Chains A and B, each alone.
Chain A
Amino acid sequence: MKTVLRAAQAGTMESNDLMVIVEPGSGGISIDLESIVSRQYGAAIRATIARVAAEMGLTDLNVKAVDKGALDYAVEARTRTALGRALAPETDGGRGK
């Protein structure tokens, strides 16, 4: 099981994108989602974020996501990047390059 080392973010506030901010949590995965299509796709976006976190072995995590109409592949990619940065050693600058 992995632990998020620090707060990190990925994505932008541009149309078709999603801004994801992650930080260490304490007991489960908490997702605070703001989306222009929350009523139609909120559950799907949350499920994708939770799935990526689980795939990366994370169980305690706070996520703030601001969605501007991102497709599922972009939600997944932005979440993966934010978590990769949060898990990366400091020497990597949190960029996993």
Chain B
Amino acid sequence: MTARTRRSLLYVPGNNPGMLQTGGLFGADVVVLDLEDSVAPSEKDAARDLVCGALRRVDFGRAATCVRLNSLDTFAAADLKSLVPARPDLVLLPKTGCPGDVLELVGILERLESLEKKDRKPIGVMALIESPRGLAEINAIAASHPRLEALVLGAEDYAAMVGALRTKEGGEIALARSQLVNAAAAYGLESFDAVFTDAADDEGLAADTILARNLGFTGKSAVNPRQVKVINDLFSPSGEDVDWAGRVVRALRQAEKEGSGVASIGGKMVDAPVARRAERILRLAEKLGPGGGDGR
């Protein structure tokens, strides 16, 4: 799955062999092997060995592999020293609080990658925004380094740190969501919404995913494999979306031939911003292919 068409990001505990080796079976576009919150402090070394082994030997199918590191002020440097030779596609930096955090991470990556074969693809970076400080600095973080591919919202930590009560409706994280989406769009990054933590509430997940999609997120995080299909389906263009987008593009081309920059479909004006949305839908549909790119 290429960048910009990644819809789902599935967290998998890094010290659980059974979950690691099945992580690629659920259709997630990105599998995040977690070394941070799901691993007890006394088991960090074990999780690191297991994740490195999984990266080298487990088939994650079409999913991109990502490792959620420990934070820079704990074990991130030790994580990277082990991980870089095992070459995940991406690393996710938790508790990203300022542009300097991204630059520090990239500096460590560059130093370690310079010890490897030169023809290997550089490891991409995602930033987890989960603090008031990170949100306050989000535009500078988004602009910090070309290696940064995505911003990911961590809503539980964020809500706790601002003293908000976390609710199913998510009003307490509305500002964080919008600011993150805007910063990502401004700097050409992907944006992933936070996890919906109640894995048994399918309707709640669908509503939360639709909200995230309508706000402009490019994808959403999943904490349970059964959430992946709902997220992928809701972030994939429907047949109606693709038909509409095709009509928009054709109408505008016709209008251009007639010397106009504006067209009308069903009485609704179609201009350049609508055309950009339509073109994005068509690009996404083309990249995902038949069946939404899930290969299932």
Contact = CB atoms under 8 A, between A and B. Distances in A.
B44 A95 contact: yes
Contacts, number: 56
B45 A97 contact: yes
Interface string A5-43: 000001100111100000000000000000000000000
A80 to B, nearest CB: 5
A72 interface: yes
Q: Give chain B's interface secondary structure class.
A: helix
A54 to B, nearest CB: 17
Interface stretch (B54-62, B93-101, B138-146): B54-62
Contacts of A78: 46, 49-50
Interface in B5-44: 16-18, 21, 42, 44
B17 A85 contact: no
Contact of B45 (A11, A70, A84): A84
B53 A73 contact: yes
B75 interface: yes
A70 B21 CA distance: 10
10 contacts: A14-B16, A17-B17, A72-B57, A73-B17, A73-B57, A74-B17, A74-B53, A77-B46, A78-B50, A97-B44
Report the 4 A-B pairs with minimum CB-CB distance, sorted nearest first. Answer: A16-B18, A73-B53, A73-B57, A74-B17
